[in-house]
Amino acid sequence: MSEGTPAMLMRGGTSKGLYFLKEDIPANKAKREEFLFSVFGTPDKLQVNGVGGGNPLTSKVAVVSKSTRPNIDVDYLFLQVSVDDYVVSSAQNCGNILAGIAPFAIERGLVRPEKGKQKTSVRIFMENSRKVAIATVQTPGSNLTYNGQTYIDGVTVPSAPISLEFLDIEGSLCGKLLPTGNPKDEVDGYSVTLIDNGMPCVIIEAGQLGVKGNENVEELEKNSTMRERLESLRLKCGKIMKLGNVKEKTVPKMTIVSKPSSNGMINTRTFIPHKCHQSIGVFGAISVATACLIEDTPVNKLSVIPSGEKKLCSIEHPSGKMEVLAELRNKKIISTAILRTARKLFDGVVFSNDDGIKAS
């Protein structure tokens, strides 16, 4: 029988994916994509012939390696495997899958827990954006633990907290925090904010699309007229944001905003890019929070802004809220952090179609 490929299935935040050591999968891009299509069962809406879950949130990949960069522990490449098309995208980061990188690195021996400390910090180079994140995990007695009492909306059970701090992620893919330099742009007859603080986002007020903004995911997915408008807008904004032709890309994300309804700062519904997110991505939440804090953006006027230079920004989404801690100095954001959890679900080997052929 074929030995298959070592892989770990993990929940990171509100996403789920396969985590690989870089050395275990094909280095050639085309061969790597072919391998991932086979492993996930893509293209197929159910991904029944693979380990994918039939949803973009469960069709994700982390490729991890020991870093040779100064003051960096591991390198992390995120890959989004399409569910129903032959597309593997590296055009963005994923902050939810990022939450599992430090635990995976410890599990695979790339990082050792800090002796005599209850926590271990891991410096992660995010290859997609070439930016750095610091993940701090719980390691009591120098042993990694997933058990804890931290809840995040979108996950039904508590786990050990994992804090993610981001360094200098402005303009991660677009080159600038505000790609056009404007807090508000008029595109295709809509007033929007184009922003990239870790994730390129187009932020648009719900009323402009003829919706309230608090609809459930299923209702928005059935609104074909609105979705066509969003996609037309996304294609035009992608070029303006210096992302080129984004028809086959997963960025920018389209975020519909409305006034908060649950004592948060703002309410959101995000398309990633064609399906409505059950919650909101980590970097998407950071970009939205940043837009809320910038004066003269349309979303700023809808937001309930916390006081003080350290602001806990509560971003409402279909499954609850995501909390973003933003520190400002002279009205400029100098750091952002977020709390996530992760859980190891399965560790073993995964088989591609080629493995099945070899096994015969």
The per-residue pLDDT for range 104-115, each reduced to its tens digit, is 999 999 999 999
Q: Could you give the CA distance from residue 159 to residue 145 in angstroms, rounded to a whole number?
A: 9
Q: Could you give the CA distance from residue 191 to residue 202 in angstroms, rounded to a whole number?
A: 10
Going by pLDDT thresholds of 50, 70 and 90, the confidence category of residue 208 is: very high
Structure-block tokens of residue 263? 């004592």
Dihedral of the CA atoms 170, 175, 178, 181 (nearest 10)?
140
The pLDDT score that the predictor gives to residue 359 is 38
Whether the CB-CB separation of 356 and 2 falls below 8 Å is answered with: yes
Whether the CB-CB separation of 101 and 73 falls below 8 Å is answered with: no
The pLDDT score that the predictor gives to residue 3 is 87
The pLDDT score that the predictor gives to residue 354 is 79
Q: What's the average model confidence in pLDDT over 164-188?
A: 95
Structure-block tokens of residue 153? 């909306």
Q: What's the average model confidence in pLDDT over 21-33?
A: 97
Q: What's the average model confidence in pLDDT over 97-107?
A: 98
Cβ neighbours, 10 Å, residue 327: 14
Q: What's the average model confidence in pLDDT over 85-112?
A: 96
Q: What's the average model confidence in pLDDT over 51-80?
A: 97
- 225-274 residue pLDDT tens: 999 999 999 999 999 999 999 998 999 999 999 999 999 999 999 999 99
The pLDDT score that the predictor gives to residue 202 is 98
- 326-354 residue pLDDT tens: 998 888 888 899 999 999 999 999 999 87
Burial class for 328, CB neighbours closer than 10 Å (0-12, 13-18, 19+): middle
Q: Residues of the chain with pLDDT > 90: what percent?
A: 91
Cβ neighbours, 10 Å, residue 39: 26
Q: Which of 354, 359, 344 is nearest to 32 (CA)?
A: 354
Fold entry, domain 5-161+342-354 = Diaminopimelate Epimerase; Chain A, domain 1 (3.10.310)
For residue 268, the one-letter residue type is T
What lies within 8 Å, CB to CB, of 324 at 6+ separation is 285, 286, 289, 312, 313, 315, 336, 337, 338
Exposure string of 247-259, with b = 16+ CB inside 10 Å and e = fewer, is eebbbbbbbbbbb
The pLDDT score that the predictor gives to residue 331 is 83
- 260-313 residue pLDDT tens: 999 999 999 999 999 999 999 999 999 999 999 999 999 999 999 999 989 999
Which residues are paired to 25 by β-bridges?
none
Whether the CB-CB separation of 49 and 84 falls below 8 Å is answered with: no
The pLDDT score that the predictor gives to residue 278 is 94
**End-to-end alpha-carbon separation of the chain, Å?**
8
Map tokens 């926590």 to a residue. Answer: 119
What lies within 8 Å, CB to CB, of 45 at 6+ separation is 54, 83, 84
Mean pLDDT taken over the chain: 95
Q: What's the average model confidence in pLDDT over 186-212?
A: 97
Residue extent(s) of CATH 3.10.310.10 domains in the chain: 5-161+342-354, 185-337
CATH number of the structural domain 185-337: 3.10.310.10
In 82-174, at which residue ranges do the beta strands (DSSP E only) sit? Answer: 88-89, 119-126, 131-138, 162-167
The pLDDT score that the predictor gives to residue 117 is 92
The pLDDT score that the predictor gives to residue 356 is 54
The pLDDT score that the predictor gives to residue 329 is 87
Q: What's the average model confidence in pLDDT over 208-231?
A: 97
Is pLDDT above 60 for 360?
A: no
Q: Could you give the CA distance from residue 275 to residue 129 in angstroms, rounded to a whole number?
A: 23
